[in-house]
Chains A and B, each alone.
Chain A
Amino acid sequence: MRKTYDMKEILSGNEAIARGAYEAGVKVACAYPGTPSTEILENTIRYPEIDSSWATNEKVALEVGIGACFTGARALVTMKHVGVNVAADPLFTLSYTGVRGGLLLVTADDPELHSSQNEQDNRNYAKFAKVPMLEPSDSQECLSFTRLAFEISERYDTPVMLRTTTRISHSKSVVEFGERLTDLPAPALVKDPSKYVMLPGNARGRHYVVEDRMVTLSKDGCSMPINRLELRDTKIGIITAGVSYNYVREVLPDASVLKLGMVHPLPFDLIRDFASKVDRLYVVEELDPFIEEQVKAAGIAVTGKEILPICGELTPGRIRKAFGLPESEESAVEKLPGRPPNMCPGCPHRGVFYTLNRLKAYVSGDIGCYTLGFMPPLSAMDTCICMGASIGMATGAAKVLPPEERKKVVAVIGDSTFLHTGVNGLIDMVYNKGIATVIILDNRITAMTGRQDNPASGHTLMDSPTNAIDFPMLCKAIGVQHVRTINPLDLRECKKVISEEMERPETSVIITDKPCVLIKREGVFSRGKVLTVKEETCVGCRTCLKIGCPAIEWVPGTEGKRGKAFIDPLLCNGCDVCRQLCNFSAIQEDI
């Protein structure tokens, strides 16, 4: 990563949003990491003028932003699409209070579910919460729309949402920079309880303000330059926004286009005007018929999801198909072995999932790298719904099962996810005398999204040392009577402790204490001694293959000889789990 900027660079959408926030004079940036939004805050830390931090979850992140904006500072809050579900509570009422300094909430949606558990279309949140939403089409617009969002936020006294999708967040294109605003008012305490204390008496009045604001924004949207009419051939007119605009220009270069930079509220007068100028009107949008339904409800004839898919992302090819254009011939290849992601060699989660598989546990899973425990050969995850759900779901299942079944229920959750929303579930389990085992996989980092610090890692986003949560002490303070810490790389210990706690008819917590192998900070992870398979001793029983380690390969035998296992010395991290499995002492240190 480069440290300095020229005035023109190739940036990802996320990097451009960070740059836009810097130029807009943002003072506070707060987020919970989540693909594809994570890199925004990883880039705001380039600017010491911005206080950037990871919050424990998206709701807290938004609340930090609101607090800062009520003092008059500009605040940026970012999250992935499902994070807005967590932050929805403050969002809906922030819509009523409005802001003081500008507040921008970035939602990074994930059509095609490249790295998510659902494909929700967060444009619906803008309509539901009654806030304006901007949608950029490339990195340059990510920067300029971020700047504009803060102006709109302050001019219309409203939080603003900016929606990206994976193809905008993670695509790079050429961006020109501007300068940082320096003439913004200094933050200060200003008391205005009738605006900021949302008791019914105050909120009732604010609701009228919100409705008026949205009507004004819809009207003003008709003359905003970001809502752009591009008149070409008028046989076909297409309303589009975001990444879809690029696909439309690629596939239908001659069509007239109404490019919407603000997707909520819609500029209806402008849409009517456009509709009157073209012979046939279409909406090309990913996921829900969000624009289409509102245009239809306004009595304007339009075609959209009749020809375009609701599920998955759009591509140039899918749009060609929808418009009946000739498609390029796909040159198919035969079926090949798949290449799904896998836990890393030496991953401290592997031994735990191997043990859970052996113990035939019913694993109430959660969100993180360890969700890969679902994959064969570990095959040890039975449910995964959303961040923090594992513990509450284990409580619910245990409530109704007979004792023999009940003891199989084990919740498995990572350190960051536990602190995100899992801890509430554990408090509930203790409070309501739930009977289940909870395993906290503490690998000291938020690994899946690319190793972000969290309240258990001992470091902040801006890399200053801070308090590290003591999980055993936290669990005891909640009231868990049985808290045990294990070495997840010791299979015997795993089996003994997990099976004992599964038998126990009470709430119990097991905490694993080995770090993620990808942590680069000094003194956290250290590679063990590399192992090797002694060819003459290996009987080819394949037991070591049952942990699915990417460093262990099956080498088929030739000329009637038995196959044998092989350990790639470049990949092996020396975790020792496979050696413990070998009944023939064929796996030894490589000397």
Chain B
Amino acid sequence: MSDKITNILLVGVGGQGILLAAEILSETCMLAGFDVKKSEIHGMSQRGGSVVSHVRYGKQVFSPIVPEGEGDLLFGFELMESYRSLTLLKPGATVVANDLCIPPPSVLIGQEPYPAHLADKIARRFPDLILVDGQQLAIEAGNARTANTVLLGAVSKRLDIEEKFWLESIERMVPKKALAVNLKAFEIGRSLA
């Protein structure tokens, strides 16, 4: 195993299921034999605030947070939060972004507009952008609530971990009755990247 550490940032809005996605990702890394650390801030972020979760894996990981400007992959659940977090990435990083806009309070009350053309702006800085219509693809998978699993599928294609470990961790972490639809959502995601 090389000494390389892979740095992943999961970003979005409190309540989107980011923490569970980060759990599945970390579990997968552990099953694949890597050392892994994961860090995020709970608390106030639960009430619809910005959420950033850090997942790092490799032979031996020290810091639980991704050093500034060293992110290898951004896993974005909401478009503006994805754009906001580009500052955490290293040049040439991969961005897997959900094509979903959740207006923040100042936009809801009409104080300012939701920024336009974000996907284009991301692509200009990080050409390796996989823009995913998570909501639509989740419906195609059979359940609108599997958008995160679709995204996870796309992310999985860009990481050096065998598919069997992903499937094993999904099986471990997802409730039995929702397993089949999540596995389908995962495969749809994998076919995108």
- Residues of chain A whose beta carbon lies under 8 Å from any beta carbon of chain B: 2, 10, 35-36, 114-115, 138, 166-167, 170-174, 243, 245-247, 249-251, 315-317, 320, 327-333, 336-344, 369, 372, 375, 377, 448-450, 542, 545, 548, 550, 552-554, 556, 563
Contacts and interface: CB of A to CB of B under 8 A. Distances in A.
A170 B43 CA distance: 10
Contacts of B136: none
B134 to A, nearest CB: 15
Contacts of B63: 246-247, 249-250, 316
B69 to A, nearest CB: 3
B70 interface: yes
B80 A337 contact: yes
The 9 A-B residue pairs whose C-beta atoms are closest, nearest first, are: A115-B43, A328-B69, A554-B110, A341-B47, A316-B67, A171-B64, A317-B68, A341-B49, A171-B39
Contacts of B83: 333, 336
A320 B107 CA distance: 37
B26 A172 contact: yes
A340 B36 contact: no
B107 A337 contact: yes
Nearest to B43: A115
A78 to B, nearest CB: 16
Contact of B87 (A333, A344, A550): A333
Contact of A317 (B26, B47, B67, B107): B67
Given A331-B125, A450-B46, 12 more contacts: A10-B30, A138-B64, A171-B37, A172-B26, A173-B36, A173-B61, A317-B69, A331-B87, A331-B89, A333-B87, A341-B48, A553-B107
Given A171-B37, A330-B87, A337-B104, A316 B65 contact: yes
A342 B30 CA distance: 35
Contacts of B62: 245-247, 249-250
A328 B66 CA distance: 12
Nearest to B34: A174
B104 to A, nearest CB: 4
18 contacts: A167-B65, A172-B39, A246-B63, A317-B69, A328-B90, A333-B87, A336-B84, A336-B115, A339-B49, A339-B50, A340-B105, A341-B44, A342-B47, A342-B48, A542-B110, A548-B108, A548-B109, A553-B108
Nearest to A251: B67
Nearest to B14: A341
A115 to B, nearest CB: 3
A299 to B, nearest CB: 32
A328 B68 contact: yes
A328 B70 contact: yes
Nearest to B110: A554
Interface string B26-67: 110010000111111111111111100000000001111101
Given A10-B26, A10-B30, A550 B68 contact: no
B151 interface: no
Contacts of B104: 337-340
Contact of B64 (A167, A340, A563): A167
A563 B110 contact: yes
Contacts of A552: 108
B48 A339 contact: yes
Contacts of A545: 108-110
Nearest to B86: A333
| Max chain A C-beta neighbours (<10 A), residue from B14, B27, B47, B113 | B47
B69 A331 contact: yes
